[in-house]
Amino acid sequence: MAVIGQARPGGMTIRTPLFVLGVALALLAFLAMFAFGLLFSRGVSGGTEIRAVVAQRDIQPREPISDEMLTIAAAPSSTASISHRIRGDDPAHERAAGRGGVRRSG
């Protein structure tokens, strides 16, 4: 009578090749997704630049901001998040540029 839990006398069972096949398929899937990521990231991050308003010097807390403290600089589009991008016809953009209801001093 056989005791439960004894190892089979045969060397390799059917589970070992299936395990190796599963690991190989997982590795193949990982490499395929990595390759897709490399391919699609090249098309998205092209060399486009955006214009951004940046400070010319450190601005202290509660210090009023004037036009002389700011400048417009070019930056890669990948540095700005989507929530910070605005359209040129946006009313908030017009106010920020001084063309809306805001009067420019000086």
Share of the chain above pLDDT 70, in %: 56
Mean pLDDT of 65-89: 74
pLDDT band at residue 45 using 50, 70 and 90 as cut-offs: low
pLDDT at 13 over 90: no
pLDDT at 10 over 90: no
For the chain, give every domain's residue range: 15-44, 49-60+67-96
Q: How many CB atoms lie within 10 A of CB 104?
A: 8
Question: Rounded to two decimals, what is the model's pTM?
Answer: 0.35
User: Do 70 and 58 touch, CB atoms closer than 8 A?
Assistant: no
Share of the chain above pLDDT 90, in %: 30
Q: What are phi and psi of 14, to 5 degrees?
A: -70, -25
Pairing between β-strand 49-55 and β-strand 70-76 as defined by DSSP bridges? antiparallel
